[in-house]
Amino acid sequence: MLTSLWFDLCGRGGCSSSSSAFEHVFVGEIKGQKQGENEVSGFHKWIQFYLEESNGNVDYQGYIFPRRRGELPDSETQLLTIQFEWHGVLKSVSSTLICVSPEFEIALYTLCFFAGGEDNHVDIGPYSVNIKVLQVGG
């Protein structure tokens, strides 16, 4: 069931081809290539961001102040909302958990999927976040 959930191909609106949930979350994808209005979708893993930036594929354009705490990110911050371009396509708002393992994120997102809702309000340490889940299939 987990293999199917994370690695079966599924089409999402505007995608030029099918991808898996794993690819969407951990690698990222560019939607709307056929419509001419490109948009970065997914791409939430800090390791992927680091690798793509190191290869010159990401243009980091800054962070957005944490709303709840009203403080500046520091070396202890593990949740960032950032803006960037990936292969020249803008992602104006993207949240990422910094320095957490893929295993933690797979477990967290899987639990949210099985909770059944699109919006899943959870507390992760000092952060209150809304994990969005697309329920696919039928």
Residues marked active site are found at 24, 44, 91
* Six token digits for residue 11: 């089409």
Amino acid symbol at 27:
V
Q: Which residue has the tokens 């520091």?
A: 74
In angstroms, the CA 89 to CA 86 distance is: 5
DSSP letter (8 states) at residue 118: S
In angstroms, the CA 37 to CA 29 distance is: 13
Give 79-83's long-range contacts (Cβ < 8 A, gap of 24+).
79/124, 79/127, 79/129
